[in-house]
Homo-oligomer: A and B are copies of this chain.
Amino acid sequence: MPISQMEEKFPAAYADFVKVCGTLEEHYRDMQDMEFTVENGKLYMLQCRSGKRTAQAALKIACDLVDEGMISEEQAVLMIEPRNLDTLLHPQFDAAALKAATPIGRGLGASPGAACGKIVFSAEDAKAWAARKEKVVLVRLETSPEDIEGMKAAQGVLTVRGGMTSHAAVVARGMGECCVSGCGDIVMDEENKRFTLGGKEFHEGDAISLDGSTGNIYDGIIPTVDATIAGEFGRIMGWADKYRTNADTPADAARAVELGAQGIGLTRTEHMFFDADRIAAFREMICSDTLEERVAALAKIEPMQRADFEGIYEAMGDRPVTIRFLDPPLHEFVPTDEADIEALAKAQGKSVERIKSIIASLHEFNPMMGHRGCRLAVTYPEIAEMQTRAVIKAALAVRARHPEWDIRPEIMIPLVGEVKELKYVKDVVVKVADELIAAAGSPMKYLVGTMIEIPRAALTADAIATEAEFFSFGTNDLTQMTFGFSRDDAGKFLGAYYDRKIYESDPFARLDQAGVGKLVEMACRLGRQTRPDLHLGICGEHGGDPSSVEFCHKVGLDYVSCSPFRVPIARLAAAQAAIKEKNA
């Protein structure tokens, strides 16, 4: 029965309904979706909830309600579900075409947005096809740093292995590109450029579509519509505003400032080496047999790092920039290709066998828990010396050009588990930095801090804070270590955990407050016991998740840092947390 007939048939119930509607909408100050029934002429309300709407409509409604004086600007900020902003920031499938399509498989929705294109199986092919204006989707068993340029050239990335924070997922989110990871149902045959999924065999050049939000994979092309940021978006975001970004290059830094970032919470210095012309020097460093060889290779790297840091400081002005020293295991960078191995051997004047034996010696059983982070700086202090020189020289050079900027480098030592380990590396940094600053003739302040990403660092944060001038929680690794899962392997069993209702959500996407959160809270408390003005931030993927941002605010973090494309979401969530706390 249409609602218009209700007034005639059940006048008393209708009058009641109109009154209740007014009460409910006034109470919730939002459009309501209500269920009710009428029995023997009497109205029974069954339930009500705020009406569902698209992100665009939500922004429009919020702005209208402010204009009508129904709600305040703060209330408008609270009304927007930050998670939904994703759809405003990335391409989406055409709604009608999507409805008509049936997924042929599903992976993890690792980086939001929609992508369609022709299948290619290697980064080289992705680049070559894209160069002749083909739209491509890169399908790989897993990705590695060598694939970065191919990922850039593709519309989207699909991987067979790897979780929400695998290489493919993290890099794609950083680029704002669609990615579906860990689709274990794919039977891959990379060599012959084909795979099977959902009973069908796919070859190079076949069309495929990916939904990076749901993880769905579709056969054929589903048309996409580009991201459209309506006028209301800017208006709401203007009302909102604590956030930094993760940015690894001058270009990232510039884009982040554009999207509203107030600083850089994480610059991953190793990401600077993925470009083809740079990785050669980096590989020479890795394959050095002696200190002299390593120092010579580091000398080639230093000017590149320094130039990048200069570009970042130029883009950020005097906004804070936290630079993390080399973190990943070295074997992530070694060549796998015969030709690359030969080139490296030639460059170093070594035999191909020697290079292969060095590469083999870098093998690790559990690379996540291996020779990486500050453990590299403890074994090879010359790496930390080079990185310190690059940071400090860049900061001094940019300040010389912009004397009005108060540039204060923040150097972050990753993967610390013990205060003496941090002190060892910090001593190396301070010696180099102080000499350069003294030689420059005018003082410059800098900070040395650490990532809290190893459970032991959180447990001994009172001791760590005697040396660390700031903490940044690396919640990706902290989640891995606290749960004892590897991000790349958890895909094999997490599905069963969701089915059996053991976990409700992916702990890599939403911060686990009961376990990981307890360590974060403990580290904040212990750290500030030692150093009351300790600066605290978070730079894991969780920085882009609204409920996690709210938790971070509650335990007293000063800033959250996430990939540039998540900055608006984090901004909104941080603003909501602050408003809720003020009103509590």
Chain A, residues 470-489, CB within 8 Å of chain B (1/0): the string is 00000001001111111011
**Given A455-B484, A460-B514, A519-B455; A418-B503 close (CB under 8 Å):** yes
A489 touches B424 (CB 8 A): no
- Out of B184, B366, B512, name the residue touching A369 (CB < 8 Å): B366
Taken together as a complex, chains A and B put the C-alpha atoms of A500 and B378 apart, in Å, by 8
**Given A368-B366, A418-B503, A489-B369; A515-B484 close (CB under 8 Å):** no
* Residue A502 is within 8 A (CB to CB) of chain B in the complex: yes
Taken together as a complex, chains A and B put the C-alpha atoms of A516 and B418 apart, in Å, by 12
B519 touches A420 (CB 8 A): no
Q: Return the chain B residue nearest A166 by Cβ.
A: B365
* Residue A41 is within 8 A (CB to CB) of chain B in the complex: no
Copies of this chain, tallied across the complex: 2
B370 touches A367 (CB 8 A): no
**Which of A282-290, A319-327, A490-498, A563-571 is the contact stretch?**
A490-498
* Residue A454 is within 8 A (CB to CB) of chain B in the complex: yes
Chain A, residues 337-379, CB within 8 Å of chain B (1/0): the string is 0000000000000000000010001001111111100010011
The interface residues of chain B lying within 8 Å CB-to-CB of A366 are 366-369, 486, 488-489
A364 touches B459 (CB 8 A): no
A365 touches B367 (CB 8 A): yes
* Residue A456 is within 8 A (CB to CB) of chain B in the complex: yes
The interface residues of chain B lying within 8 Å CB-to-CB of A161 are 365
**Given A366-B367, A496-B379; A484-B481 close (CB under 8 Å):** yes
**Given A502-B378, A515-B459; A371-B480 close (CB under 8 Å):** no
B378 touches A454 (CB 8 A): no
Q: Return the chain B residue nearest A418 by Cβ.
A: B502
The interface residues of chain B lying within 8 Å CB-to-CB of A235 are none
**Given A364-B486, A415-B484, A418-B503; A493-B375 close (CB under 8 Å):** yes
Interface residue ranges of A491-529 to B (CB < 8 Å): 492-493, 496-497, 500-503, 512, 514-516, 518-519
Q: Return the chain B residue nearest A373 by Cβ.
A: B484
Closest-CB distance, A167 to chain B (whole angstroms): 10
Taken together as a complex, chains A and B put the C-alpha atoms of A105 and B357 apart, in Å, by 20
* Residue A156 is within 8 A (CB to CB) of chain B in the complex: no
* Residue A421 is within 8 A (CB to CB) of chain B in the complex: yes
B369 touches A369 (CB 8 A): yes
**Given A417-B483, A500-B424; A368-B371 close (CB under 8 Å):** no
Q: Return the chain B residue nearest A370 by Cβ.
A: B489
Q: Return the chain B residue nearest A489 by Cβ.
A: B370
The interface residues of chain B lying within 8 Å CB-to-CB of A415 are 484
Q: Which of A420, A460, A493 has the most CB of B within 10 A?
A: A493
The interface residues of chain B lying within 8 Å CB-to-CB of A424 are 500, 502
The interface residues of chain B lying within 8 Å CB-to-CB of A421 are 497, 502
Closest-CB distance, A275 to chain B (whole angstroms): 25
The interface residues of chain B lying within 8 Å CB-to-CB of A361 are 184
Taken together as a complex, chains A and B put the C-alpha atoms of A355 and B86 apart, in Å, by 42
Q: Return the chain B residue nearest A357 by Cβ.
A: B187
**Given A415-B484, A502-B420; A456-B370 close (CB under 8 Å):** no
B488 touches A477 (CB 8 A): no
Chain A, residues 45-77, CB within 8 Å of chain B (1/0): the string is 000000000000000000000000000000000
The interface residues of chain B lying within 8 Å CB-to-CB of A492 are 364, 370-371, 379
Interface residue ranges of A243-300 to B (CB < 8 Å): none
Taken together as a complex, chains A and B put the C-alpha atoms of A220 and B357 apart, in Å, by 28
B369 touches A493 (CB 8 A): no
- Out of B379, B463, B493, B516, name the residue touching A456 (CB < 8 Å): B516
Q: Which of A424, A456, A486 has the most CB of B within 10 A?
A: A456
B369 touches A486 (CB 8 A): yes
The interface residues of chain B lying within 8 Å CB-to-CB of A375 are 493
- Out of B365, B420, B454, name the residue touching A368 (CB < 8 Å): B365
The interface residues of chain B lying within 8 Å CB-to-CB of A369 are 366, 368-369, 480, 484-486, 489
- Out of B379, B417, B512, name the residue touching A484 (CB < 8 Å): B417
Besides the known contacts A455-B484, A460-B518, 6 further A-B residue pairs in the complex with CB atoms under 8 A apart: A365-B368, A366-B488, A378-B496, A378-B502, A418-B503, A477-B484
Q: Can you sample 10 A-B contacts with CB below 8 Å? A: A366-B488, A370-B486, A378-B496, A378-B500, A418-B502, A420-B502, A455-B519, A459-B519, A481-B482, A481-B484
The 9 closest A-B CB pairs, nearest first, are A366-B486, A369-B486, A456-B515, A370-B489, A454-B484, A365-B488, A366-B366, A455-B455, A379-B496
